[in-house]
Amino acid sequence: MKFSKNRNPAVPGFKATGLSCGLKAKNIKDLALIVSEVPATAAGVFTKNRVVSPGVTWSRRALSKSGRCRAIVVNSGNANTVVGEKGFADCDAITKKVAEELSIPQGEVLIASTGVIGVPLPSHKILQAAPQLVQELGKSKNNWTSASEAIMTTDLTSKSDKVSYEFKGKRITLGGMSKGSGMIHPNMATMLGFVCTDAVIDTKTLKKALTEATDRSFNRITVDGDNSTNDCVVVLANGKANNASIKAGTPGYREFLKALTTLCKSLACKIVLDGEGATKFVTVRVQGGKTRKQAYLIANSVATSSLVKTALFGEDPNWGRIYCAVGNAGAAFNPDKVDILLNKHLLLKNGAPTNIPPKNLVKAMQQHEIHISIDLNSGKEWEEVFTCDFSYDYVKINAEYTT
Catalytic residues: 190
Distance (Å, whole) CA 99 – CA 19: 18
For residue 317, state whether it binds a second copy (rule: CB under 8 A): yes
- The least distance separating a second copy from the CB of residue 223, rounded to whole angstroms, comes to 9
Quick one: 227 or 262, whose CB is closer to a second copy?
227
Q: Which is nearer to a second copy, 103 or 355 (CB)?
A: 355
Q: Is residue 228 close enough to count as binding a second copy by CB under 8 A?
A: yes
Q: Could you tell me which stretch among 79-87, 161-169, 264-272, 368-376 binds a second copy (CB under 8 A)?
A: 79-87
What is the contact mask toward a second copy in residues 165 to 204, using x (rule: CB under 8 A)?
-----------------xx---------------------
Which of 49/243 has CB closer to a second copy? 49
Does 82 bind a second copy (CB under 8 A)? Our answer is: yes
Considering only 30, 155, 224, 375, the residue that binds a second copy (CB under 8 A) is 224
- Residue 214 makes contact with a second copy by CB under 8 A: no
Q: Give the per-residue contact string, 110-149, with a second copy (x = CB under 8 A; - = no).
A: ------xxx-------------------------------
- Report in angstroms how near the CB of residue 123 gets to a second copy at its nearest: 16
Could you give phi then psi for residue 85, rounded to 5 degrees? -70, -20
Quick check: 390 binds a second copy (CB under 8 A)?
A: yes
Q: How far is the CB of 328 from a second copy (least distance, A)?
A: 5
The answer to whether 328 contacts a second copy (rule: CB under 8 A) is yes
Sign of CA dihedral 261, 266, 272, 275: negative
Task: Mark the segment that binds a second copy (CB under 8 A) among 104-112, 265-273, 287-295, 327-335.
Answer: 327-335
Contact between 326 and 372 under an 8 Å Cβ cutoff? The reply is no
In the complex, what is the shortest distance from the CB of residue 110 to a second copy, in angstroms, rounded to a whole number?
Answer: 21
Any contact of residue 318 with a second copy (CB under 8 A)? yes
For residue 307, state whether it binds a second copy (rule: CB under 8 A): yes
Residue closer to a second copy (CB basis): 143 or 230: 230
User: Within the chain, what is the greatest distance between any pair of CA atoms?
Assistant: 69
Residue 105 makes contact with a second copy by CB under 8 A? no
Nearer to a second copy, 66 or 398 (CB): 398
Asked if 310 interacts with a second copy (CB under 8 A), we say yes
Beta carbons within 10 angstroms of residue 31's beta carbon: 28
- x-or-dash pattern for a second copy, window 330-369, by CB under 8 A? -xxx-x------------x--xxx--------x-------
Size of the site for a second copy (CB under 8 A): 64
- The answer to whether 57 touches 229, Cβ cutoff 8 Å, is no
274: amino acid identity, one letter: D
The nearest distance, CB 378 to a second copy, in angstroms, is: 13
Q: Does 156 bind a second copy (CB under 8 A)?
A: no
CA distance 265 to 159: 12
Give the binding site for a second copy (CB under 8 A). Answer: 49-52, 79, 81-85, 116-118, 182-183, 224-229, 304-307, 310-311, 313-321, 323-329, 331-333, 335, 348, 351-353, 362, 390-392, 394-396, 398-403
